[in-house]
A and B are shown apart, each in its own frame.
Chain A
Amino acid sequence: MILKELSDAFGVSGNEDDVRAIVLDAVRDHVDEVKIDAMGNVLAAKRGTGQDPMRVMLAAHMDEIGLMVIGHDDNGFLKVRSVGGIDPRLLPGTLFVVGPERIPGVVGVKPVHLLESGERKKVSKIEDLVIDVGAQSKDEAEKLAPLGTYATFATRFQELEATVSGKAFDDRAGCAVLVELLRGEPFTFDLHAAFTVQEEVGLRGARVAAYAIDPDCAFALEGTIADEIPKEKDVSPTTRLGKGPAITVMDRSFIADRRLVQLLIHTAEEQDIPYQIKQPGLGGTDAGAIHLAREGVPSATVAVPSRYIHSPVALLSLDDFDNTVRLMRKSLSRLTRDTLK
């Protein structure tokens, strides 16, 4: 399963090489042209059947959140800072993989037996956490993991009952959807796929990819927050697991093009594909950068709902995944120049 391969790959923002290699292998035989741009985005073009001169961009980001080594202490522990949005509450006791040699490490944590009263209620700041790779001295630590070394959650992909768990579903789920779309039949227009870098640190790869592609419209494919875990009040979930692909109307990074949102909704209703509207106002995706490229690009975002994103282990429903691929495929096969008139 391509999702498993992608989820297990290491690719913290700025260090997407492993993911890039998997993506290249997965799409090479299904596209007409593929290149890596100056920032490291994979840009793959799949020619259309020629009826429509449109250029349609599909984007999914390859990078994931993680940690970077910023220092070493006298006892051989690695000091770190976060790359992208990490919640420090989730880190103590977590397994990481450090550097290109994949050295296993654990985020150090005081045993529960030794906690002083009051300590249990406190959350450690990231500055106070260290990764323990078993080094005995500062020298040894510096050799094992020099400054700037990346660390990635060590979580492996797992199939559960109706769901799968793993790390980095944000946005390897989107990457996997995009791979599936490229592997299918061509559309009437040219499809320009961008597997982007550095989304988690500010939508940076997508910005230059959209400039280069200069598309007529774009879709960002994502793994987004599902949070219908029990709450005290009757309040809104962002999205729900198992309820189908999530369509964005507005988030912090952009307002989706209404014509594209209508295309997605009409397609879902006609094809009987479940869908949900993501709670407006939350999060941001590559569409935030893409829609502002050059003279502007009508854009939309479609996402696979995923619980516990930005944590060591996330959960998604394969039905949602399949329905996201279906919704995109059916919507793209109905997309024409007239959609944007």
Chain B
Amino acid sequence: MRDLIKKLVETYGPSGSEEQIRDAIRAEVEPLVDEVRVDALGSLIAHKKGDGQRLLLDAHMDEIGVMVTYVDEKGFARFTRIGGVNPLTCIGSRVAFEDGKVGVIGVEQKRDDADKIPKLEQLYVDVGATDREDSPVQVGDPAVFMRPFAAQGTRLIAKAMDDRIGCAVLVETLRRLEETPHDLYVVFAVQEEVGLRGARTSAYGIEPDVGIAVDVTGTGDTPESRPMAVKLGEGPAVKVQDSGMIAHPKVRRLLVERAEEAGIPYQLEVLARGTTDAAAVQLSRSGVPAGCLSIPCRYVHSPSEMVDENDVENGVRLLLEVLQNPL
């Protein structure tokens, strides 16, 4: 599964430009399901037909990034954020454009308050150009953070674990799944990081009976972290609520019961800030009972997000329990 994770996290795919990551995931899931299609906004939908209830599983395939807003006379590119990008983690980072071109993020040195975290407007991407005319990038070009996948013990580190780890969990689940009584739709959604947009329209199209998102969540186990009960390596987290959704109690109970029956470690999650595609699925049409299985992740939205391999493995096992048993 490490190979799969490495491949997915290193593939390019900021919100709105998910073609490359979609192709990569499509190649993985096409042999595993009955039908694969791409919907109007670009989400990839894999359908494994069954007679039972319509179950939607979702992970978003987009990642945060930056977009060029202006190339100045000397060829430096100013940029805006795609999704929640923090200036603190930008400085010194490298970004990669769709065609592989590389840029370095620099910061204006003469600032009034040099001790404060700079604003995004005070940063720029240096693509090695000497003036505006020879700049290889243009206004509107998106780019993602560059960072190779690394593994140390059971800890896995990469950019875009949010939410390629969810994509990997779903692909791996499909690989191991033999039979399911459910009519299963696995959605690899676009544009989550800019407002849960792909999941909203995909859920409308699928009209599921139950929806479960697989996404990362924060942890409270790092030095001076905000209080949060979730810890890395203690099992996948069953979401109780976050700032966008209260998980349907039946979906929460389903995940907890399946974990306990199968002896799979799990934790309960209450996330103070942030939400997932499940929030959009829940409000689709006349409403959908929805929940979320979270993979604990440190340093979310930085270029070095860290998860624990055991949590990932147990996430797959738990989903398989859900898929192989009645809802």
Residues A294-320 near B (CB distance < 8 A): 294-298
Contact B16 A295 (CB under 8 A): no
In the assembled complex, the Cα of A294 lies from the Cα of B78 at a distance in Å of 35
Shortest CB-to-CB span from B251 to chain A, Å, is 23
CB contact under 8 A between A291 and B17, given known A235-B78, A298-B41: no
B39, B78, B81: the one contacting A296 at CB < 8 Å is B39
Contact A279 B70 (CB under 8 A): yes
Contact A249 B140 (CB under 8 A): yes
Shortest CB-to-CB span from A302 to chain B, Å, is 14
Contact A236 B39 (CB under 8 A): no
CB contact under 8 A between A234 and B69, given known A294-B201, A296-B41: no
In the assembled complex, the Cα of A234 lies from the Cα of B17 at a distance in Å of 29
Contact B16 A250 (CB under 8 A): yes
Q: Does A292 contact B (CB under 8 A)?
A: yes
Residues B178-197 near A (CB distance < 8 A): 191, 194, 197
In the assembled complex, the Cα of A170 lies from the Cα of B102 at a distance in Å of 38
A: number of interface residues (CB 8 Å): 23
Contact A294 B41 (CB under 8 A): no
Contact A236 B70 (CB under 8 A): yes
Contact A235 B40 (CB under 8 A): no
Q: Does B248 contact A (CB under 8 A)?
A: no
1/0 per residue B222-242: CB within 8 Å of A? 000000000000000000000
Shortest CB-to-CB span from B85 to chain A, Å, is 11
Contact B40 A296 (CB under 8 A): yes
Which of A254, A258, A295 has the most chain B CB atoms inside 10 A of its CB?
Answer: A295
B68, B72, B204: the one contacting A234 at CB < 8 Å is B72
Which of A234, A255, A297 has the most chain B CB atoms inside 10 A of its CB?
Answer: A255
Q: Does B60 contact A (CB under 8 A)?
A: no
Contact A280 B80 (CB under 8 A): yes
Q: Does B35 contact A (CB under 8 A)?
A: no
Residues A149-203 near B (CB distance < 8 A): none
Q: Does B15 contact A (CB under 8 A)?
A: yes
- Interface size class on chain B is 20 to 34
Which of B16, B78, B81 has the most chain A CB atoms inside 10 A of its CB?
Answer: B16
Contact B67 A295 (CB under 8 A): no
Q: Does A54 contact B (CB under 8 A)?
A: no
Interface residues of A: mostly helix, strand, loop or mixed?
loop
Which of A250, A279, A294, A296 has the most chain B CB atoms inside 10 A of its CB?
Answer: A296
Q: Which residues from chain A contact B72 at a C-beta distance below 8 Å? A: 234-235
In the assembled complex, the Cα of A250 lies from the Cα of B16 at a distance in Å of 9
Q: Does B138 contact A (CB under 8 A)?
A: yes
Q: Which residues from chain B contact A234 at a C-beta distance below 8 Å? A: 72-73
Q: Which residues from chain A contact B194 at a C-beta distance below 8 Å? A: 255
CB contact under 8 A between A255 and B201, given known A280-B139, A281-B67, A298-B41: no
A249, A258, A292: the one contacting B197 at CB < 8 Å is A292
Contact A294 B204 (CB under 8 A): yes
1/0 per residue A242-254: CB within 8 Å of B? 0000000110001
CB contact under 8 A between A295 and B139, given known A255-B16, A279-B70: no
Q: Which residues from chain A contact B200 at a C-beta distance below 8 Å? A: 292, 296
CB contact under 8 A between A258 and B16, given known A291-B41, A296-B40, A298-B40: yes
Contact B140 A277 (CB under 8 A): yes
Contact B40 A255 (CB under 8 A): no
Contact B201 A250 (CB under 8 A): no
In the assembled complex, the Cα of A296 lies from the Cα of B37 at a distance in Å of 14
Contact B82 A250 (CB under 8 A): yes
Known: A249-B67, A277-B140, A291-B41. 9 other contacts (CB 8 A): A235-B72, A236-B69, A250-B16, A258-B16, A280-B139, A292-B200, A294-B205, A295-B202, A296-B202
By a beta-carbon cutoff of 8 Å, the part of chain B in contact with chain A is: 15-17, 39-41, 43, 67-70, 72-73, 78, 80-82, 138-140, 191, 194, 197-198, 200-202, 204-205
Q: List 6 A-B contacts (CB under 8 A).
A: A236-B69, A254-B197, A255-B82, A258-B17, A280-B67, A296-B39
By a beta-carbon cutoff of 8 Å, the part of chain A in contact with chain B is: 216, 234-236, 249-250, 254-256, 258, 261, 277, 279-281, 291-298
